[in-house]
Amino acid sequence: MSKTSQISNNEKFNVSLVFFIITTCQVGVGIHGFQRLITQQAKQDAWISVILSFLFAHIAVFFMVKTLQLYQTKDLYEIHEDLYGKYVGTLFNFLYIFYYAFAFFVVLRNYIEVIVTWVFPGLSQGFIGITILLTVIYAFTGGFRVLVGIAFFSFFSIIWIPFLLWFPLEFAHYNHLSPVLATDLASIVKGAYTMTFTIVGFEILYFIYPFIKERKKAEKFAHLGLLATLLLYLFIMLVSIVYFSEKQLERTIWATLTLFSVVRLPFIERVEIITICIWLVILLPNLCFFMWAAYRGASRIIKIKPRAFLSIFFVIMYVGILLVQSRYQINHMNNFFSQWAFIIVFIYPFLLYIFAKTKKSIKNRVKNH
């Protein structure tokens, strides 16, 4: 038997918080401009792509939970070692660590890009990076409970988004939505595929699962969390379609932020500047959980102390920020990430489940004989 890391009762959290963690880990930087890529594929039916992508996500979550239920108290890293043996399992774990570090970087870099473009053209990227990294590290050192708490409070900084998006509806042209289903299925599926970048984050379930108090209910809340994100994305997508003209949407880089810029409150102009800054709170759970997941893996493979891990992580991220400078590089990075994420998030859980299931049943049969 492989060793199972002990999780103290104190670190466990209430099952209803799974909802908040899933939602806040999904909502990140992708939401700023996901409309563009999808409309390029699915045109006015982009909203169907959104729904479709969430359908896939629900299926993926279903398999994730099934796999986790086979192993109960283990997270994915432990499952890998158990399933593939020490060496191959470690290899897979490395992939996941790298994935999470990459995800962390993608979120961080994209946010920096937004800040630099909209709010502070003169502010050094390295500086923003360092301040965010230090904040995340401060949260990380507080323990797992703090991370979950951040996810919880961050959810309340997401809630206002739909309310703010009522304002652009004043300029809506609802006939942008029709004809429904005029684009061919292939484009809609392609659109759903491009949603990957925006939708990922829920695979954190693989790692938080052992920390949940009543695991039986976890699946329900995970699906609810997905549903909440779906409603948010769907609403944003619909507003974007009726507000923007098609060609304009295809050229708007951060459509959601542009939508915010239409909002005019009597006491505030340029609402988008404020929302971009508030986005920091929305991003925080993304960053914290990605970092935490990477740390879980790293500490499992090599017995690394948190401080050593944080220092290395910090340096890598900082160097990364300095290296990736232009918009072209960022786009390239995002594309690469979403291709990879698609395999890890949507395809792999299915394969893993089948593999785990067959292995278990073979084991059982051997035992029985």
Partner 1 sequence: MNRKKVFILLLSVTLFLFGCAQTRILERISLVTLVGYDQDQEDNVKATAVIRQINPNYESSIETQSETEHTSKGARTKLDMRTAKQLMIGQLRVVLFGEELAKSGLDEAIHTLMMNSEISTSTYLAVVEGETKPMIEYKYETITDIGQYLYNLLKHNIEQQQSISSTLHEVVRDKYSPYREFAMPLLKKEGEHIQINGVAFFNNGKMVGRLPADDIYYVVLLSDSFKHGTLELEIPSDNIVSKSKQSGNLQIAVDSIETDRRFDLVSVKPAQFDISINMKCRLLEIDSNVPIGNHQVIKKVEKAMSKKMEEEINRIFKYSQQVNSDIFGFGEVYKSHLSESELKNVKWNELYPDIKAKIQVNVDIIRNGTFE
Partner 2 sequence: MFGMNKKKQQTKITEQKKQQTDNLPQDFTISSSNEKFIQHIKQKIHSPSDLICKVISDEIRIIYLTHLVDGKSLKEDILKTLEGQDDWTPRTIFEKLPIPEMESSSNFKTCIQEILKGGVLIHVEGFSEVVIAKITTYQTRSLTAPENESQVVGSQIGFNESLPTNVSIVRRYITNPNLCNEQFTIGKHTNTSLSLLYIHGIASEDQVNTVRQRIQDLDINDLIDSANLAELIEDSSSSIFPQLLLTERPDRFCDGLLSGKLGIVVNGSSMAIVSPYSFFEFFQSREDQNLRWPIGTFVRLLRFIAIFIAIFATPMYVATLTFHYDVIPQPLIIPLSESRAIVPFPPVMEALLMELTIELLREAGARLPTKVGQTIGIVGGIVLGTAAVDAGLTSNVLIIIMALSALASFTTPNYVMGNSIRVVRFPIMIFAGFWGYYGLMLAFCIILIHLLRQSSLGAPYLAPFYPPRWKDWPNSIIRLPLPLIKRQPTNTAREESNNALINRSGGLRGEKVKE
How many residues bind partner 1 (CB under 8 A)? The answer is 40
Mask 263-302, x = binds partner 2 (CB under 8 A)? ---xxxxx--xx--xx-xx--x------------------
Nearer to partner 2, 35 or 286 (CB): 286
Residue 245 engages partner 1 in binding (rule: CB under 8 A): yes
How far apart CA 79 and CA 172 sit, in angstroms, is: 49
Which one of residues 47, 56, 100, 118 is an interface residue with partner 1 (CB under 8 A)?
Answer: 118
Cβ distance to partner 1 smaller for residue 10 or 175: 175
118 touches which of partner 2, partner 1, none (CB within 5 to 8 A by kind)? partner 1
What does the alpha-carbon distance between residue 278 and residue 48 come to, in Å, rounded to a whole number?
A: 29
Q: Which stretch binds partner 1 (CB under 8 A): 57-65, 105-113, 199-207, 257-265?
A: 257-265
Q: Single out the residue of 1, 3, 10, 182 in contact with partner 1 (rule: CB under 8 A).
A: 182
Q: Which of 196, 258, 286, 338 binds partner 1 (CB under 8 A)?
A: 258
> Cα dist. 203→91, 279, 343, 347 in Å?
18, 22, 12, 12
Give the list of residues 6+ apart from residue 338 with CB closer than 8 angstroms, or none: 194, 196, 197, 200
Exactly one of 55, 85, 127, 162 binds partner 1 (CB under 8 A); that residue is 127
Q: How far is the CB of 273 from partner 2 (least distance, A)?
A: 6
The residue (of 15 and 57) whose beta carbon lies closer to partner 2 is 15
DSSP secondary structure, 51-119, as one string: HHHHHHHHHHHHHHHHHHHHHTT--HHHHHHHHHHHHHHHHHHHHHHHHHHHHHHHHHHHHHHHIIIII
Is the Cβ–Cβ distance between 202 and 226 less than 8 Å?
yes
Distance between CA atoms of residues 31 and 195, nearest Å: 10
Cα 297 from Cα 307, distance rounded (Å):
15
> Please, which of residues 115-144 interact with partner 2 by CB under 8 A?
115, 119-120, 123, 128, 131-132, 135, 138-139, 142-143
Residue 97 vs 288, nearer CB to partner 1: 288
Say whether residue 368 binds partner 1 (CB under 8 A): no
Report in angstroms how near the CB of residue 310 gets to partner 1 at its nearest.
10
Q: Is 266 in the site for partner 1 (CB under 8 A)?
A: no
Q: How far apart are CA 11 and CA 148, in angstroms?
A: 10
Encoding tokens for residue 98? 């790298």
Pattern 300-339, binding to partner 1, x per CB under 8 A? Answer: -------x--------------------------------
**Judged by CB under 8 A, which stretch of 204-212, 261-269, 289-297, 330-338 contacts partner 1?**
261-269
Q: 244-251 — which CB contacts under 8 Å span 24+ positions? A: 244/35, 244/176, 245/176, 246/39, 246/43, 246/44, 246/176, 249/35, 249/36, 249/39, 250/36, 250/39, 250/40, 251/36
The interface partner of residue 177, options being partner 1, partner 2, none and the CB cut-off 5 to 8 Å by kind, is partner 1
Evaluate the CA torsion angle 60, 84, 305, 313 in order and state its sign: negative
CA distances from 109 to 37, 115, 253 (A): 19, 10, 15
The footprint of partner 1 (CB under 8 A) covers 43, 117-118, 120-124, 126-127, 130-131, 134, 137-138, 141, 171, 173, 175-179, 182-184, 243-248, 251, 258, 261-262, 264, 269-270, 307
